[in-house]
Amino acid sequence: LSHPSFALAIALLLPMQPARADEGAQLAATCTGCHGTNGITVGDALPSLAGQPKAALLASLKAFKSGERSATVMTQIAKGYSDEQIERIAAFFAAQKSQPKAGTTGASGAIRDPAAAGASAVPPGAGS
């Protein structure tokens, strides 16, 4: 039972072998509460991260981290990540498609837009 190949054999017998979320995907997922699944951002208050050039994303993140670029939240968040982690996050968002596939992402019709629904509380610029 202790032979390594036995464990391997059992693993190969598993009825499924799911894909995995690599570390870049998992790190990027810490951003997507504000920036949308896979960096496809809803609304126009923030730019979409998906498909932006890696160099541009990296430059922004590093400038937030150093404080060279000012922000309300991102200067505080960027300081929580190592340069290596920032590199992986930038690479992940750069590799995403900039437009959502119909019906498969958070930008789909399931999410009602309060601005479009006529709510008066959304400040100018927050709606789409």
Site residues (vs other proteins, CB under 8 A): 1-2, 4, 6-7, 10-11, 13-21, 23, 25-27, 29-37, 41-43, 45-46, 72-73, 75-81, 85, 103-108, 110-114, 117, 119-123, 125-126
- By the 8 A CB rule, do 5 and 85 touch? no
Give burial (CB, 10 Å; 0-12/13-18/19+) of 128: exposed
**Which CB atom, from 56 or from 116, has the smaller least distance to other proteins?**
116
Place of tokens 């927050």: 126
Smallest distance from other proteins to CB 107, Å: 6
Of 76, 79, 84, 96, nearest to 25 (Cα)?
96
**Which CB atom, from 98 or from 108, has the smaller least distance to other proteins?**
108
